[in-house]
Structure 1
Amino acid sequence: MDFNEEINNALKVIKRGGIILYPTDTVWGIGCDSTNADAIDKIYRLKKRSETKAMICLVSDFKMLNQFVEEVPEVAYDILKYAAKPTTIIYDKPIRVAENLVGEDNTLGIRVTKDEFCQKLIRKMKRPLVSTSANISGEPTPESFHEISPEILKGVDYVVNLQQSKKTAKPSAIIKLSNDGKVQVIRK
């Protein structure tokens, strides 16, 4: 199975409102188009997750980050530039994404991904990709593809056929950056 073929297969599914299971720069993720509320609902149902529990999304670069957040605090660039591991930042006032992706406090966690597959897929989508761990809510995050439950595997519309033997990294660090300058570490 080749890389570009996997990107095209995933893209087709996403464009028609489907959800995919894919490797990220951290753990295996369940994803969809961040602007498609119905697809996001499908993920909430599959994970048996409350809609009040926010999900994050991935962007390909800083340029895309700026297109989906009203105002990116300057400190975000420094944090991301010097972060030793993948880091998700929760921003105030996300824009141009589905409402059911945005937290009740009008925030959204976004990670600039360094994973080549994710970057290429997101660039072709021209919008952020939802990313949430491949588990039923409340169950442990699978550390490898082989630990993903059959329920999740059957519940997605497409499973990306890459890196299935690779052990995954740990979930990303999460930092909340408020526009008033407050910085809060949520997960190290």
Structure 2
Amino acid sequence: MLKEEVAKALKVIQEGGIILYPTDTVWGIGCDATNTEAIKKIFSLKQRDEAKSMIVLIETVNKLESYIREVPEIAFDLIEYAENPLTLIMPGAKNISPAVIAADGSVGIRVVKNAFCEQLIQRLRKPLVSTSANISGQPTPQTFAEISPEILEGVDYVVDLEQNNTTPKKPSTIMRLEPSGKFEFIRR
């Protein structure tokens, strides 16, 4: 089941499509983080201002240096010891679409701990965009059942995993991390 869903989602993403998928936090809308056209489809679906950046998911901490110019040493410890999923906003984004990079050159990046996401990102060999499965300004759905029909119909593929899981999920903790190692919490 997992392998088949990874293969189906991968095909859609490689063709420039957007998917609705389970993550280690809330359900996400995603695409190839290097494909600007696909990212624009997500902004359009979410009716979101393109100045509000989205996060990207990677499957292993070793990939951080592929997408961030200067990874502070503390980033590795923060990720390793975080009790909850942790998104780090760091400056010096590289090798991803400008559409996911904030005006200040930073990007939010999370090492995802979810078998589906890990396998999909490994096979894609690129980071995956992740943004909550809601229209901008509306509450973030905590379960699949709370996702609006507008979102379900607006994506190119809905991953057929974890849809019956009714355990409410929470978005990740977000920290801004400077190259010096200085950090601040944006969302706990």
* Structure 1 contact 64–127 (Cα < 8 Å) conserved: no
After TM superposition, the structure 1 = structure 2 runs for residues 91-130 of structure 1, keeping only pairs within 5 Å, are 91-130=90-129
Mapped partners of 2:65, 2:119: distance in 1: 18
1:55 equivalenced with 2:48 (yes/no): no
SS at match of 1:100: helix
CA offset digits 1:6-29 (Å, max 9, x no partner): 000000000000000000000000
Tell me which residue corresponds to 1:169: 169
**d(CA) in 2 for partners of 1:126 and 1:78?**
24
Which residue identity lines up with residue 178 of structure 2 in the other structure? S
User: Kindly tell me: are residues 20 and 55 of structure 1, through their superposed partners in 2, closer, same or farther at Cα, counting changes over 3 Å?
Assistant: same
Are the aligned partners of 1:26 and 1:168 in contact in 2 as well (CA < 8 Å)?
Answer: no
Give the direction of change, closer, same or farther, for the CA distance of 1:127–1:86 in structure 2 (3 Å limit).
same
RMSD over equivalenced CA pairs, Å: 0.7
Count of aligned residue pairs for this structure pair: 187
* Structure 1 residue aligned with 2:33: 34
Amino acid at match of 1:171: P
User: CA-to-partner distance for each residue in 1:93-113, whole Å, 9 max, x for gaps?
Assistant: 111000111000100000001
Structure 2: which amino acid aligns with 1:76?
A
Q: Tell me the TM-score normalized by structure 2.
A: 0.98
Task: Give the distance between the partners of 1:58 and 1:48, measured in 2 at CA.
Answer: 22
Q: 1:14: which partner in 2?
A: 13
Deviation at 1:182, TM superposition (A): 2.3
Q: Contact (CA 8 Å) 1:47, 1:137: kept in 2 or not? A: yes
Please give the secondary structure, in 2, of the residue aligned with 1:64. Answer: helix
In the TM superposition, residue 71 of structure 1 has moved relative to its aligned partner by 1.2
CA distance in 2, matches of 1:165, 1:66: 36
Task: Output the CA distance in 1 between the equivalents of 2:111 and 2:74.
Answer: 15
Q: Deviations over 1:64-88 (max 9, x none)?
A: 2211111111010111111110000
Deviation at residue 181 of structure 1 after TM alignment: 3.0
1:156 pairs with 2:155: yes
State the identity as a percent: 53
| 1:178 positional shift | 1.1
2-side partners of 1:168 and 1:43: how far apart?
Answer: 24
CA distance, structure 2, for counterparts of residue 82 and residue 182 of structure 1: 17
Residue 64 of structure 2: SS of its match in structure 1? helix
The list of structure 1 runs, each at least 4 consecutive aligned residues, that deviate by more than 4 angstroms after superposition, is: none
